[in-house]
Amino acid sequence: MKILISTDIEGVAGVFAIEQTRAGNPEYERARRWMTAEANAAIEGAFAGGAQAVWVNDSHGGFRNLLPDGLDARARVVLGKPRALGMMAGLEQQPDLVFMIGFHAKSQTRGVLAHTINNFAFTQVWLNGVELGEAGLYGALAREYGAHVALASGDDVFAEETRPLFPDARFETVKTAGGASSGDTLTPAASCARIATAARETVAHALSAG
């Protein structure tokens, strides 16, 4: 079984401020380590569950946030731009399952750092009459390639809006939104433990189901 993990930063535990998402300041450097740790938890969990190959896609901003030396050496890492398929680069490898780690709610919602692709360019994006955030848009793209979203993590608003789109997926809520830049959160260690367990169980279940 092959897994593609798409990773963003706004939905990572402990991330609430825009400064944490932009390169060039100490808060970002801490946040990218947390992002890397959550990605690695998903990687290690996927392999523990029986995955044969894992690709992890850096899907935030300029796509150069993950720290490869903090990732399991068995994984392949997709970094940088320009590239085809954006947040789903790696679908070319024909993965069976897609994990969305550190994702956020769509624009104009109360989710932490909520936006859709780029707040300066988009307020709403619609597909077949349904307003979608990044998870919905890129999840639809994954289905076109024969993969389906099996695991996602982020805040409670992200989970609420995305769960109906992927009813068979497992959602791990690592923080609860109090507003666009506030809320309560698991610690990075706790979020990583939950993500690793969820990844392991998700892959194991998929393999047992055939």
Q: Domain limits of the chain?
A: 2-209
22-53 b/e (C-beta count within 10 Å ≥ 16 → b): eeeeeebeebbbbbbbbbbbbbbbbbebebeb
The answer to whether the beta carbons of residues 195 and 44 sit under 8 Å apart is: no
- Residue 118's pLDDT band, with cuts at 50, 70 and 90, is confident
Task: Place 122 in a pLDDT band, splitting at 50, 70 and 90.
Answer: confident
Quickly name the fold that domain 2-209 has: Rossmann fold (3.40.50)
Q: What is the pLDDT of residues 131-141, one digit of tens each?
A: 999 999 999 99
pLDDT of the residue at 80? 97
* pLDDT for position 43: 99
Residue 132: what pLDDT? Answer: 95
pTM above 0.75, yes or no: yes
